[in-house]
Amino acid sequence: MHNCQRQDYIAGFPMHPHRGIETFTFLSKGTMIHEDHLGTKAVIHDGEAQWLTAGSGAFHSEMPQPSKRMLGLQLWLNIPAKDKMKAEPFYHGVVNSEIQEFDLENGKLRLLAGNYEGHQGIQGKYLPLDYYDIHLNPNSKIELDVPGENKSIMVFTLEGDAIVSGTHVDEKTAAKLGDGDQLIIESGNQPIEIIYMASDKLNEPVAWYGPIVMNTREELIEAYTELDSGDFIKQQATYENKE
């Protein structure tokens, strides 16, 4: 999810449900308050993220606070079919104090989740996720080793146009990558901020409607029936946020 127009996000995202996924919300610029159905509350600031495991069912809200600029991105990470209704809701705030930062020759890389050259960031319980926030100065590049087979890899140009393995990618555009041994990201005459995301392919059927992602139409119908009846929440959530 990515909203480029101020009118699309200024009202925020009031309390709403999720099931069957994890959401990883990265905020490059701005401030946002998260609240969930248990009354937990957390704030993320410039450069921070939040990881919500919705699992069997969660309600939460994400409300932007007054800021000079809001710039962010939300990734939905599917949960394996066998775990969707077993996964306990869980929240983790990824704050700046626990984000490792690596100097590049002409920029920097921030490890928000997963692994980078043997360095380990936070990780979820269900699917692995490598999530890098990469900043490059003008006319610079970075080369990344691409994981092996059965991987889903994507980049998103948050600020500035980029050249991704020889292909021009406009600002605020997602590019899904094919198989390969190496990824080369290059900037032009302007600095860029680009997000790198990699995880395992599930190779399972997907049934998606609104904020709920299941595997069959019947499971979707059941989820929305439970929303209407008030039986949506199955497990108590766990909250963790490091200040």
Residues forming beta bridges with residue 212, ordered by sequence position: 19, 209
Residue 2 assigned to a binding site:
no
Please tell me the number of Cα atoms within 13 Å of 47 on its side-chain side. Answer: 13
Q: Could you tell me which of 83, 182, 193, 78 has the C-alpha nearest to residue 134?
A: 193
Q: Residue 223 in 3-state DSSP?
A: helix
Q: Which tokens go with 30?
A: 């701005």
Residue 92 assigned to a binding site:
no
Q: Could you tell me which of 243, 205, 219 has the C-alpha nearest to residue 93?
A: 243
Residue 60 assigned to a binding site:
yes
Residue 187 contacts residue 155 (beta carbons within 8 Å): no
Residue 208 CA to residue 215 CA, distance in Å, equals 8
Q: Tell me the residue type at 218.
A: E
Q: Which tokens go with 235?
A: 């497990």
Residue 57 contacts residue 19 (beta carbons within 8 Å): yes
Residue 62 assigned to a binding site:
yes
Residue 136 CA to residue 158 CA, distance in Å, equals 12
Query: Which distant-in-sequence residues (6+ apart) come within 8 Å of 187 by Cβ?
Result: 136, 137, 138, 139, 140, 141, 160, 162, 163
Residue 213 CA to residue 195 CA, distance in Å, equals 23
Binding residues: 16, 18, 60, 62
Binding residues for Fe cation: 16, 18, 60, 62
